[in-house]
A = this chain, B = another copy of it.
Amino acid sequence: MSFNSFGRVFRFTTWGESHGPALGVVVDGCPPGLTLRAEDIQRALDKRKPGGSKFVTQRKEPDAVKILSGVFEDDRTDGPRTTGTPISLLIENVDQRSKDYSDIRDKYRPGHADFTYDAKYGFRDYRGGGRSSARETAARVAAGAVAELALKHMLGDGVSIRACLVEIGGHKIDRDNFNWNEIENNPFWCPDAKAAALWEEKLDAARKAGSSMGAVIEVVGAGFPAGLGAPIYGKLDADLASAMMSVNAAKGVEIGAGFGAAALSGEENADEIRMQNGKPEFLSNKAGGILGGISSGQDIVVRFAVKPTSSILSPRKTVTAQGEDTDIVTKGRHDPCVGIRGAPVGAAMMALVLADHVMLHRAQCG
């Protein structure tokens, strides 16, 4: 029941602050025998890395991962393999710019966790947000890369998890333009080339104005079998909701038709079924691939909403820890839309939840 762990059998624990010497994650319960190289994890980390475009923080972090335990390269094998023991991954913090934090130290930044951390702990590491910094998500992405390998190991290469942005600052994509191949062609993981152009314009304006924008991220798991999950409190969707809501700045999560389902009739909402090629196929996917907490074999579709970055250049009303009214301007190297880097994080979280549920299913149902 730890505060910094997630998962049941495939379980990981992250640690580290924005301005400490390093951050990392311990992945426990990974199946033995997977080939795992640092470069496999690095590839995933590079997608989340700061500094990739002008739309993400300009902090320069190579985010180079080291594997400290849990793999072994025998002279009888062709590469390091997981041994079934805990995999410790470490990422050093390199570019913790030495600056004057006196402003943040004494003032609560609106929209940040400054006030609540102080209320809880009576004290906080204010450098760059400390533990509440989005840098923690690097550890999730690293763990997610291990989870993805574990999923392919257990289920075969037919499974995939992809993430994209479907809305920035209220501007949604046109579903008719949806093309997964587009997401690598723009700095927004946007599957709609037209929307990407608009977003570029809007977000650049916000960035120049020292403002920020929110976003909605969609994560899709494909190729997963029916039967993953469990009724009631081990539901696949409940775990995905917890996973996505735990991502920094997330304020909403939905599965399939999601909040839109509330406006549908029973006839519109319930996905019909027909035999196709000798097996049952759903004729639509309002359910987002999950019925009664258990996967149906369709695409697993989750969306989560991320609020606009709270660090902005306009002066905002706040108070000091000493109880005086004041104003604050949050300088720094911030993401104008933190949702962009949320895409690889969301994909990682889905991989982690699914790896856990595949293992739980094997436990109970053999």
Contacts and interface: CB of A to CB of B under 8 A. Distances in A.
A333 to B, nearest CB: 15
Contact of A275 (B22, B123, B269, B323): B323
A177 interface: no
Interface string A267-292: 11111111100111001001110111
Contacts of A361: 120
Interface string A116-131: 1101111111010011
A125 B293 CA distance: 16
A4 B316 CA distance: 45
A236 to B, nearest CB: 9
A223 interface: no
Given A119-B296, A121-B83, A254 B251 contact: yes
A85 interface: yes
A159 interface: no
B119 A86 contact: no
A267 B314 contact: yes
Interface stretch (A40-48, A49-57, A191-199, A237-245): A237-245
Which DSSP category, helix, strand, loop or mixed, fits chain A's interface? Answer: mixed
A17 to B, nearest CB: 6
Interface string A166-186: 011110000000000000000
A289 to B, nearest CB: 10
A167 B238 CA distance: 22
Interface in A297-317: 297, 305-312, 314, 316-317
Contacts of A319: 273-275, 280
Contact of A85 (B4, B227, B268): B4
A112 interface: yes
B266 A229 contact: no
Contacts of A226: 115-116, 119-120
A259 B251 CA distance: 7
A293 B247 CA distance: 10
A33 B120 contact: no
Interface in A21-41: 21-24, 26, 28-33
Given A9-B360, A15-B87, A116-B291, 16 more contacts: A4-B231, A5-B11, A13-B28, A15-B86, A20-B68, A22-B68, A115-B273, A116-B292, A119-B296, A212-B265, A238-B245, A262-B307, A267-B312, A269-B310, A270-B316, A273-B317
| List of 8 A-B pairs having minimum Cβ-Cβ separation, nearest first | A113-B292, A111-B270, A170-B263, A252-B254, A212-B266, A119-B226, A3-B234, A116-B294
12 contacts: A1-B1, A4-B26, A6-B233, A13-B28, A17-B85, A85-B130, A90-B90, A113-B293, A120-B227, A167-B263, A261-B306, A262-B339
